[in-house]
Amino acid sequence: MENTNNSKKLDKRTLLKSFHRWFWGALTCFSQEHMQTFGYMASMLPILKKLYPNHKDQVKAIKAYTAFFNTNPMLGTVIVGITASMEQARANGKEIDGETINDMRAGLMGPIAGIGDSLIDGTLIPILLGISLGMSTGGSPLGAIFYIVAWVLIAYFGQRFLYFRGYHFGDQAVSFLVGKQGAAIRRAIGIVGSMVVGGVLASWVNVTTSLKLYGANGKVFLNLQNKLDSIYPGLLTVIVTLFCWWLMTKKHVSAIWTMLLLVVISLIGVLVGFFNPGLSY
């Protein structure tokens, strides 16, 4: 879909305008029913106006984008770039119709959402936040500022890169994400994600017990926390986490009910002396 009969070509200004509309507005008019559909239409509008001077053609062209759309908004930018190039090809008389465009969008939004959620929400953001939290320990604003700068730069230029990659390479831009290579990448990212999440849990969460058993002479003969630490440091933290995972995944308990169950467990634990946060004024 490149350099044949380039009678109509999108200039960089139009493409940037379309990209910015996606960057700022992918989800502004969100509803459960149509999700990102309106964000998509709004970002295609500059493209359509540029390619089709005739108002009737614009109205006809936008019909393709009224279909349901939802994906990971960061990685999904590449799809908007791809449709920009497809739309340009269509305007130049190539045999592309709205259905072709929609098949591409529908085919990509699932895999892109899956990879984007695990790559960005599940791996990149926890790493960035983990570093930033370390910098903000003790109430310093440094970590928060670092996160703002690092993430906004990565998000803006990363998405911009993806948009233009989609525009220049068409669906070739994401061919490596589907098929065998895509599966291998997902497995590899999954490893990084799982290990980072494990590291986050160990670094920042610490569930401990205050249970101590006293002998007849008033001396502690069992300090459960010390015992557990000598078996596997952080054992209770792992157990509570895996318990929550088990409830939500295997028993299909919602996150809210899981939290409420933790309240009950904490209450019982406090009453029997298993938990004691050691409060004082």
Partner 1 sequence: MTISWIQAAMLGLFACLCSNSCMAGQAVGNYTIGRPLVGGLICGLILGDLQLGIACGVAMQLVYIALVTPGGTVSADVRAISYIGIPLAMVAIASQGLNPLGGSAANLAKSVGTLVGTVGTVLYYAVATMNLVWQSFGWKDVHNGKLNKLTAVNFGWPWISHAIFSFLPTMFLTYYGATAVTALRNALPMDGVAMKTLFTVGGMLPCVGIAILLRQIIGRTTDFIPFLVGFTLAASLGLNLVSVTVVSLLFAVIMYEVEMSKGGKQGNSTVPEGPNDDDEEDI
Pick out residues in 3-62 that bind partner 1 (CB under 8 A).
12, 21, 23-35, 37-39, 41-42, 45, 48-49, 55-56, 58-59, 62
Q: Which position among 213, 231, 271, 272 is part of the footprint of partner 1 (CB under 8 A)?
A: 271
Q: Mask of contacts with partner 1, 200-219, x by CB under 8 A?
A: xxxxxxxx------------
- Minimum Å gap between C-beta 223 and partner 1 is 18
Q: Binding marks (x or -) toward partner 1, 227..266, rule CB under 8 A?
A: -----xxx--xx-xxxxxx-xxx----xxx-xx--xx-xx
Provide the minimum distance between the beta carbon of 214 and partner 1 in the complex, in angstroms, as a whole number: 20
Among positions 156-175, residues that touch partner 1 (CB under 8 A) are 156-162, 164-165, 168
Q: Which range touches partner 1 (CB under 8 A), out of 84-92, 99-107, 185-193, 216-224?
A: 185-193
68 binds partner 1 (CB under 8 A): no
Question: Whole-number minimum distance, CB 87 to partner 1, in Å?
Answer: 14
Amino acid at 243: F
Please give the size of the binding site for partner 1, defined by CB under 8 A.
141
Q: By CB under 8 A, what part of segment 99-158 binds partner 1?
A: 113, 116-127, 129-134, 136-141, 143-145, 147-148, 151-158
Tokens 């295609």 -> residue: 44
Query: Shortest distance, CB of residue 217 to partner 1, whole angstroms?
Result: 27
Query: Which position among 6, 93, 99, 188 is part of the footprint of partner 1 (CB under 8 A)?
Result: 188
Q: For the residues of the chain, what is the DSSP string, one character each?
A: --SSS-SS---HHHHHHHHHHHHHHSSTT--TTTBTHHHHHHHHHHHHHHH--SHHHHHHHHGGGGS-B---TTTTHHHHHHHHHHHHHHHTT-S--HHHHHHHHHHHHHHHHHHHIIIIIIIIHHHHHHHHHHHHTTT-THHHHHHHHHHHHHHHHHHHHHHHHHHHHGGGGGGGGSHHHHHHHHHHHHHHHHHHHHHHHHHH-------EEE-TTS-EEEEHHHHHHHHSTTHHHHHHHHHHHHHHHTS---HHHHHHHHHHHHHHHHHHTS-------
**Region from 1-9, 183-191, 211-219, 220-228 binding partner 1, contact rule CB under 8 A:** 183-191
Q: How many angstroms separate the CA atoms of 236 and 174, rounded?
A: 42
